[in-house]
Amino acid sequence: MGTRINRHLAETGHCSRREADRLIEAGKVAINGRPAVLGDVVEDGDDVRIAGKPAGAKQKKVYLAFHKPIGVITTMDRGAKDTIMQALHNARGKLPKERIFPDGRLDVASAGLILFTNDSDLADALLRAVGQHEKEYVVEVDKPITEDALKAMRAGIRILGRPTLPAKAERLGPKTFSLTIVEGRNRQIRRMCHAVGLEVVRLKRVRILDIELGTLKKGAWRYLTDDEIAGLKKQVLK
């Protein structure tokens, strides 16, 4: 059974599926000498090339957890500075040879857990499944948190033209609380806090589904365990 061309390119580690679609639309991908089109299927033995060069073989699947520091930008733009890929390569430890991508984003002023993988099926499923997969944050704000503010976050707050989905909000201290959401809108938590009269001082993501940041130091990474990988796939690839 064949594989769609964008998935095939992602599995070689050359790029993400989204970037593969852009390369195909730009006419830079060929299958057996003819220009590829979106939706093409690649069979074993097909000659797939990008800008005239062989796309390469499929890579083994890799899964990492990384503690993104504040000031690091979640982008794959090689021309940008202070990117997450630069931070990952500056970390201690020998990274896998396979090309991996961050799964999701954290804004530049936030820190915490972000996953890396070259498993395009898992990455796409995580990005698509709005409203299904929990992400937990520890939030420090500029003034004491009221119970009304926590209740509003639990029920949903109107931002960017529509209400947020129900969330879990629990007080950790006078100005600190945990917030678990199942969305990932642009600067969502900062906007939610602003809507109830609070401004975020520090924001750290501590969990994605069952994967916890734990004691992983800022700027450090680790491989996911076999149990963590199996758990992710069970929850996401339904």
- Token couple for 146: 């009221």
The CA-based dihedral angle spanning residues 121, 126, 131, 133, taken in that order and rounded to the nearest 10 degrees? 120
Phi, psi (deg, nearest 5) at residue 200: -75, 130
Give yes or no: 226 in active site.
no
Selected catalytic residue, list 46, 107, 142, 148: 107
Sign of the CA dihedral 88, 224, 118, 115? negative
Measured between alpha carbons, how far is 178 from 91 in angstroms, rounded to an integer?
28
Q: What is the DSSP string of 170-189?
A: EEEETTEEEEEES---TTHH
Which residues are catalytic, by number? 107
